[in-house]
Amino acid sequence: MMSANNNNGLEDFARDLERIAGKVADKQVLRKVLSAGAKPVVDRAKRTIRQHRRTGTLDQGITTEFDEKTEKQRIGWGRRAFYGRFYESGYRPITGNRKRVGGRWRWKNKRPSGRTIQRAHIRPAYAAERQTVGNKMIETLRNELGGV
């Protein structure tokens, strides 16, 4: 049989769950948790790509952005460091001398290669920091929930 004290405990527990659910659903809390998880990945990626530094634009251009529609944190490159995705995958845009022949674009000489040296930095950074990302996100969520 349930006593009155036990019933009050269940009501308190249900109220606590509602409070926690309300805080977790808050976009500001979600944004803080996701950005805390992204920070170690960004720091590791910057350290990795800094080894190949020429101007510093690429390592300064690695950024994070919260997408409101999908509610995801994206790690990528800013406008000045758009070429970071080419380093990540090992491709570069194909450029060269082309001319219009018969309504179609043709290469004047041999078509230039589209390969460049692959210097992956974001994918390996996430793989190396995967455990840290989870721990940081859990820690931030606990702090936001008030030490639950």
Domain assignment of residue 7, yes or no: no
Q: What share of the chain is helix, strand, coil (3-state, %, to 5)?
A: 55, 15, 30
Q: What is the 3-state secondary structure (H, E, C) of 45-80?
A: HHHHHHHHCCCCHHHHHEEEEEECCCCEEEEEECCC
Domain assignment of residue 11, yes or no: no
| Residue ranges making up the domain that contains 134 | 18-145
Res 38 pLDDT > 90: yes
Domain assignment of residue 5, yes or no: no
pLDDT in tens, 64-120: 888 888 888 888 888 888 878 877 877 655 555 666 777 776 666 555 555 566 778
Determine the Cα–Cα distance for residues 108 and 97; give it in Å rounded to an integer.
6
Q: Which of 25-29, 50-54, 106-110, 126-130 has the lowest mean pLDDT?
A: 106-110
Domain assignment of residue 134, yes or no: yes
DSSP 8-state symbol, 112: P
Domain count, the chain: 1
Domain assignment of residue 6, yes or no: no
pTM for the model: 0.68
